[in-house]
């Protein structure tokens, strides 16, 4: 399935969503956000076991929100645009399967925020990331002030936001902003390799793992531990649990549905 500015493709149960505005460095306007929201809904409804998010072309993942669109927004329009961006980043964060950001180039502003909402981030050696909004007279508005500090720590997040710094892939890796850096021409194959491995994992256990990990910043430690116990015990009696443990006892590889 495809929209004018977003493509959704399948490889088995692996869904790849590509933001396709290479002439605008895949910058996000309302139409593109609408298409991305629809694509995420489609991937979820079709039961994707892994989701890959990337950008079209050789230069950008998502270079940010479309500044030419934003520059004349009213306060009310800005509020609506922020809410639209939050809906999309929330869908990525809450997607019931692992989401991998394949960062193939520029990931500034809203593009960096899309990557932050993913579970895993793999960057091309050419990638450059940053919350660059301060020099536009605004701040991150799609979750960057919250997710960035949770990922890299408070001091570093403040530096990135206050100075609007752009960091290359290696620096982003060292600060924990991305988990892995690969050669540009190996990005797609490496991300697909990861996706294939995740696709073979037990679906319900993977969903439970993501839900539990997402609670780290939402609950106190005691509440989070209670949540973990409940989710853990609920997996007993599932096909995943029976097959995984039977395969272990029988000294063979599991064959999950």
Annotated catalytic residues are 113, 133
The token duo for 107 is 């990931």
The token duo for 38 is 């629809």
Q: How far apart are CA 127 and CA 111, in angstroms?
A: 12
Q: How far apart are CA 111 and CA 83, in angstroms?
A: 16
**Are the CB atoms for 14 and 192 separated by under 8 Å?**
yes
**How many CA atoms, within 13 angstroms, populate the side-chain half-sphere of residue 181?**
18
* Terminal-residue alpha carbon distance, the chain: 25
Residue with tokens 């430690």: 221
């Amino acid at each position: 399935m495809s929209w004018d500015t977003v493509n959704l493709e399948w490889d088995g149960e692996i869904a790849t969503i590509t933001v396709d505005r290479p002439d605008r460095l895949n910058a996000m306007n309302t139409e593109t956000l609408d298409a991305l929201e629809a694509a995420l809904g489609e991937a979820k409804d079709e039961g994707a076991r892994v989701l890959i998010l990337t950008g079209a072309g050789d230069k950008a993942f998502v270079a940010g929100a479309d500044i030419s669109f934003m520059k004349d927004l009213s306060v009310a329009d800005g509020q609506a645009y922020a809410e639209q961006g939050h809906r999309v980043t929330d869908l990525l964060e809450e997607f019931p399967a692992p989401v991998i950001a394949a960062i193939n180039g520029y990931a500034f502003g809203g593009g960096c925020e899309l990557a932050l909402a993913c579970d895993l981030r793999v960057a091309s050696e050419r990638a450059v990331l940053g919350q660059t909004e301060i020099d536009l007279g605004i701040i991150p508005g799609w979750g960057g002030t919250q997710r960035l500090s949770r990922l890299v720590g408070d001091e570093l997040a403040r530096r990135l936001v206050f100075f609007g710094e752009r960091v290359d892939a290696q620096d982003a890796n060292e600060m924990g902003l991305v988990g892995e850096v690969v050669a540009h021409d190996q990005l797609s194959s490496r991300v697909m390799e990861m996706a294939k491995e995740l696709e073979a994992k037990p679906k319900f256990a993977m969903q439970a793992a993501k839900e539990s990990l997402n609670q780290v910043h939402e609950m106190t430690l005691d509440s989070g531990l209670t949540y973990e116990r409940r989710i853990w015990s609920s997996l007993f009696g599932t096909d995943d649990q029976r097959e995984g443990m039977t395969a272990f006892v029988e000294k063979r590889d599991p064959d999950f549905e």
